[in-house]
Chain A
Amino acid sequence: MATTERKYPAPSVNPEIKPFFDAAAQGTLMLKKCAACSQSHFYPRAICPYCSSDRTEWITASGRGTIYSYSVMRRVPVPYAIAYVTLEEGVTMMTNIVDCDLDAIRVGHRVKVVFKPTDGGPPVPMFTPA
């Protein structure tokens, strides 16, 4: 495991997605769900990517999921694991797998959300073994 911490770049927050990062600052993972077609989506949008309805609503996610895929970037000063995690709500999101042995990560492992500070911005959701 790397001994040095990575610095995470800040997300560029705009009005459409501000509630997601406001919730992240409170330690909560939010998703958008469409009231018209009942489907959740990611990344969150005002307009549903499935049915085009503007009746999309913020919901609180459980913060639990499984690793869909991952890759450990080795050719950098501090190696890190990028991943897609499929949440219990059914959507898959890009993230990092953190606070664990990078060599022990596997597809299908169960993970839970943690929030990590960014460089001058709101915290972002990452995942660690459940």
Chain B
Amino acid sequence: MTIKGKAYIAGVYEHPTRKADTQSLAQLHAESAMGALADAGLTKDDVDGYFCAGDAPGLGPLSMADYMGLKLRHMDSTETGGSSYVIHVGHAAEAIALGRCNVALITLAGRPRAEGVATGTVPRAPVAASPDAPFEYPYGPTVANQYGMAAMRHMHQYGTTSAQLAWIKVAASQHAQHNPNALLRDVVTVEDVINSPMISDPLHRLDCCVITDGGGAIVVVKPEIARSLKRPLVKVLGAGEAPKHQMGGKIDLTYSGAVWSGPAAFAEAGVKHADIKYASIYDSFTITVLITLEDLGFCAKGQGGKFVADGNLISGVGKLPFNTDGGGLCNNHPANRGGLTKVVEAVRQLRGEAHPKVQVRNCDVALAHGTGGSLGTRHGSATVIMGRE
């Protein structure tokens, strides 16, 4: 049993706002949904499956089905933080393959800027009864210092440098200059990154992703429906997902759950690394990209610093163009969750609809990867591989 070829991504949408002072959370979800459905050439009455995660208001699928007036026969609110929506693509393909739904809608939205949330530098209140919280929350774990510990250990163990990490931001900024909706459009240098203020050692301000409001949506459909629409055919080839945690105290911060989700997705898709023309890699921080590229097998463990240096991730320059929309580091990280926009840009690339300055030639196979939660404690990794037909 496989999802390969059983489902197609027919519609994608990235909300253009980066600060949503005048919209509600449910409204942002719905505006994103309508955008993706319009992109596909479908309406909300075609939707019979709905997927959302912890950013959705109220009781998730119940509240959003109510708000949008959806009549559903399949729901999934799998929550793994920012990687949820990459997982949802795989789950939507599974549901479609089993005949549980024909048109699956995935939405994401949030407004951390409008709400004035100190996203990265203040500990998030633990979820009720989270078993780890009594042993972590008193120590001030923030997003930035948890990823900082992962980066510090990688540097210690493999000699990775701040300059190498900076190349990841440099590549993202080279792409973002062509995206009119990107929050940060200025091209930066390695020196700019290293000279930006230290947030939490060894991560500088420009090692961190942006904080933005907004959202996005994806429409996954069964093959017969995809072929009836007037959009390029983007097929789901394979998917993988896995949690990684503290292993009962045998903590190793130098790798992520991508060591499991990646091989599963590659095996199901039946493609090799050399087949991947474009990769959307979750970029909450520069270190997230570096560790993920190693774990997905684009280079050996410990060699990520060398792999990303000297523009290797820049479209038209390097061997593995990544995050050509500017990614979370420059463009958009709506609701502090970057997984959905990773899939959106991969679909743009496969359709040939990326900005001409960053469009990868003959982009027939692409990968999108999400890392939700924290590299420093526990996270959900998700990989999806898609192909143009």
**Which chain A residues have a beta carbon within 8 Å of chain B's beta carbons?**
6, 8-14, 17, 21, 39-43, 45, 49-50, 68-76, 80, 82-84, 86, 90-96, 107-108, 118, 121, 124, 126
Q: Is B253 an interface residue (CB 8 A)?
A: yes
A41–B135 Cα distance when bound, in Å, is 13
Which residues of chain B (187-246) have a CB below 8 Å from chain A?
197-203, 246
A105 nearest CB across to chain B (Å): 9
9 A-B residue pairings within 8 Å (CB atoms)? A39-B248, A42-B135, A43-B249, A49-B248, A69-B152, A72-B201, A91-B249, A93-B135, A95-B139
Q: Is B161 an interface residue (CB 8 A)?
A: no
A2 nearest CB across to chain B (Å): 13
Question: For residue B97, which residues in chain A have a CB less than 8 angstroms away from its CB?
Answer: none
With A94-B139, A118-B138, A124-B138 already in contact, the answer to whether A69 and B132 are too (CB < 8 A) is no
A75–B145 Cα distance when bound, in Å, is 10
Chain A: which residue is nearest B133 at the CB level?
A12
Question: For residue A126, which residues in chain B have a CB less than 8 angstroms away from its CB?
Answer: 139
Which residues of chain B (241-262) have a CB below 8 Å from chain A?
246-251, 253
Q: Is B137 an interface residue (CB 8 A)?
A: yes
Q: Are B133 and A107 in contact (CB under 8 A)?
A: no
Q: Are A41 and B248 in contact (CB under 8 A)?
A: yes
A6–B43 Cα distance when bound, in Å, is 54
- Count A/B pairs, Cβ under 8 Å: 128
Question: For residue B129, which residues in chain A have a CB less than 8 angstroms away from its CB?
Answer: 12, 14
Chain B: which residue is nearest A50 at the CB level?
B248
Which residues of chain B (166-198) have a CB below 8 Å from chain A?
197-198
With A74-B198, A92-B251 already in contact, the answer to whether A82 and B149 are too (CB < 8 A) is yes
Q: Are B145 and A84 in contact (CB under 8 A)?
A: no
Question: For residue A43, which residues in chain B have a CB less than 8 angstroms away from its CB?
Answer: 131-132, 134-135, 246, 249
**Chain A CB within 10 A, most for which of B135, B142, B146:** B135
**Chain A CB within 10 A, most for which of B121, B142, B249:** B249
Chain B: which residue is nearest A95 at the CB level?
B139
Q: Which of A41, A69, A95, A96 contacts B253 (CB 8 A)?
A: A69
**Which chain B residues have a beta carbon within 8 Å of chain A's beta carbons?**
121-123, 126, 129, 131-142, 144-146, 148-153, 156, 197-203, 246-251, 253, 377
The 8 closest A-B pairs by CB, nearest first: A71-B148, A91-B249, A42-B249, A11-B134, A41-B248, A49-B248, A69-B153, A43-B135
Question: For residue A13, which residues in chain B have a CB less than 8 angstroms away from its CB?
Answer: 134
Question: For residue B150, which residues in chain A have a CB less than 8 angstroms away from its CB?
Answer: 69
Chain A: which residue is nearest B157 at the CB level?
A107
Q: Are A93 and B140 in contact (CB under 8 A)?
A: no
A11 nearest CB across to chain B (Å): 4
A84–B250 Cα distance when bound, in Å, is 11
Q: Which of B136, B138, B144, B247 contacts A73 (CB 8 A)?
A: B144
Q: Are B248 and A68 in contact (CB under 8 A)?
A: no
Chain A: which residue is nearest B142 at the CB level?
A73
Chain A: which residue is nearest B202 at the CB level?
A71
With A11-B138, A69-B156, A71-B145 already in contact, the answer to whether A84 and B253 are too (CB < 8 A) is yes
Q: Are A73 and B200 in contact (CB under 8 A)?
A: yes
Known: A9-B137, A41-B249, A43-B134. 19 other contacts (CB 8 A): A42-B246, A43-B135, A68-B251, A71-B144, A71-B152, A71-B203, A72-B145, A73-B200, A74-B198, A74-B201, A75-B121, A84-B253, A90-B249, A91-B249, A94-B139, A107-B152, A118-B138, A124-B138, A124-B139
Chain A: which residue is nearest B245 at the CB level?
A49
Q: Which of A10, A71, A95, A121 contacts B200 (CB 8 A)?
A: A71
A13–B199 Cα distance when bound, in Å, is 31
Q: Which of A9, A42, A76, A83 contacts B138 (CB 8 A)?
A: A9
A74 nearest CB across to chain B (Å): 5
With A49-B248, A84-B251 already in contact, the answer to whether A11 and B137 are too (CB < 8 A) is yes
A49–B250 Cα distance when bound, in Å, is 11
Q: Are A6 and B140 in contact (CB under 8 A)?
A: yes
A24 nearest CB across to chain B (Å): 11
Q: Are B121 and A76 in contact (CB under 8 A)?
A: yes
**Chain A CB within 10 A, most for which of B126, B134, B149:** B134
Question: For residue A96, which residues in chain B have a CB less than 8 angstroms away from its CB?
Answer: 139-140
Q: Which of B139, B141, B146, B199 contacts A75 (CB 8 A)?
A: B199
A50–B134 Cα distance when bound, in Å, is 21
A40–B247 Cα distance when bound, in Å, is 11
A43–B136 Cα distance when bound, in Å, is 9
B249 nearest CB across to chain A (Å): 3
With A6-B140, A43-B135, A73-B142 already in contact, the answer to whether A92 and B249 are too (CB < 8 A) is yes
A12 nearest CB across to chain B (Å): 5
